[in-house]
Amino acid sequence: MPQDCMKTPWNAMRIHEEATMKADKAREKFDLRHGGPRVYRFQVPGEEVKLVGMRHQSHLEGLQGDLRHAEVDENGFLKVRVPKWARTR
Protein backbone atom coordinates (compact mmCIF):
# COMPACT_ATOMS: atom_id res chain seq x y z
CA MET A 1 0.00 0.00 0.00
CA PRO A 2 1.44 3.40 -0.94
CA GLN A 3 2.29 5.88 1.80
CA ASP A 4 -0.23 8.67 2.37
CA CYS A 5 1.46 11.90 1.25
CA MET A 6 -0.78 13.99 3.50
CA LYS A 7 0.84 12.56 6.66
CA THR A 8 4.34 13.91 6.17
CA PRO A 9 6.04 15.92 8.94
CA TRP A 10 6.01 19.04 6.74
CA ASN A 11 2.24 18.78 6.18
CA ALA A 12 1.63 18.20 9.89
CA MET A 13 3.67 21.34 10.64
CA ARG A 14 1.71 23.38 8.07
CA ILE A 15 -1.64 22.16 9.44
CA HIS A 16 -0.52 23.11 12.97
CA GLU A 17 0.62 26.57 11.79
CA GLU A 18 -2.69 27.20 10.02
CA ALA A 19 -4.70 26.10 13.06
CA THR A 20 -2.61 28.34 15.33
CA MET A 21 -3.04 31.35 13.02
CA LYS A 22 -6.79 30.69 12.83
CA ALA A 23 -7.04 30.56 16.64
CA ASP A 24 -4.99 33.78 16.98
CA LYS A 25 -7.22 35.62 14.50
CA ALA A 26 -10.36 34.39 16.29
CA ARG A 27 -8.93 35.59 19.63
CA GLU A 28 -8.10 39.01 18.13
CA LYS A 29 -11.59 39.32 16.65
CA PHE A 30 -13.16 38.37 20.01
CA ASP A 31 -10.98 40.90 21.86
CA LEU A 32 -11.89 43.69 19.43
CA ARG A 33 -15.60 42.91 19.84
CA HIS A 34 -15.30 43.00 23.64
CA GLY A 35 -13.36 46.20 24.26
CA GLY A 36 -10.00 45.43 22.72
CA PRO A 37 -7.09 43.38 23.95
CA ARG A 38 -6.15 43.56 27.61
CA VAL A 39 -3.39 46.02 28.30
CA TYR A 40 -1.28 45.69 31.40
CA ARG A 41 0.97 48.47 32.62
CA PHE A 42 2.70 49.41 35.82
CA GLN A 43 1.57 52.39 37.86
CA VAL A 44 4.00 55.19 38.65
CA PRO A 45 4.32 57.07 41.96
CA GLY A 46 1.84 59.95 42.15
CA GLU A 47 -0.65 58.28 39.80
CA GLU A 48 -4.29 58.29 40.93
CA VAL A 49 -5.70 54.85 41.70
CA LYS A 50 -9.06 53.43 42.82
CA LEU A 51 -9.25 50.91 45.66
CA VAL A 52 -11.27 47.81 44.73
CA GLY A 53 -11.63 44.38 46.28
CA MET A 54 -11.23 45.58 49.86
CA ARG A 55 -12.27 42.62 52.03
CA HIS A 56 -11.13 43.65 55.50
CA GLN A 57 -11.70 47.41 55.28
CA SER A 58 -14.84 47.63 53.18
CA HIS A 59 -15.34 51.34 53.98
CA LEU A 60 -12.38 52.03 51.66
CA GLU A 61 -14.01 50.28 48.67
CA GLY A 62 -14.11 52.56 45.61
CA LEU A 63 -12.02 55.26 47.29
CA GLN A 64 -9.61 57.32 45.16
CA GLY A 65 -6.01 57.69 46.29
CA ASP A 66 -2.55 58.26 44.85
CA LEU A 67 0.29 55.79 44.65
CA ARG A 68 3.15 56.44 47.10
CA HIS A 69 5.86 54.03 45.90
CA ALA A 70 6.23 51.75 42.89
CA GLU A 71 7.78 48.95 44.97
CA VAL A 72 5.59 46.32 46.59
CA ASP A 73 5.89 45.37 50.28
CA GLU A 74 6.67 41.88 51.62
CA ASN A 75 3.01 40.86 51.07
CA GLY A 76 2.87 42.11 47.47
CA PHE A 77 0.84 45.26 48.16
CA LEU A 78 1.42 48.82 46.93
CA LYS A 79 1.32 51.80 49.30
CA VAL A 80 -1.50 54.23 48.50
CA ARG A 81 -2.18 57.61 50.12
CA VAL A 82 -5.88 58.14 50.91
CA PRO A 83 -7.66 61.23 52.31
CA LYS A 84 -7.24 61.83 56.06
CA TRP A 85 -10.90 61.12 56.82
CA ALA A 86 -10.54 57.57 55.43
CA ARG A 87 -7.45 56.59 57.41
CA THR A 88 -7.84 53.93 60.09
CA ARG A 89 -4.54 54.45 61.93
Q: How does pLDDT run across 14-72, given as a tens digit for each residue?
A: 999 999 999 999 998 998 888 877 776 778 888 999 998 888 888 889 999 999 887 88
Q: Domain limits of the chain? A: 1-40, 48-86
Spatial CA neighbour of 82 closest among 72, 71, 57, 73: 57
For 10-22, the pLDDT digits (tens) are 888 999 999 999 9
Asked whether 73 and 79 are in contact (CB, 8 A), the reply is yes
Give the contacts of 63 (CB within 8 A, at least 6 positions apart): 50, 51, 82, 83, 86
Check the CA dihedral 51-52-57-60 and report its sign.
Answer: positive
This prediction has a pTM of: 0.47
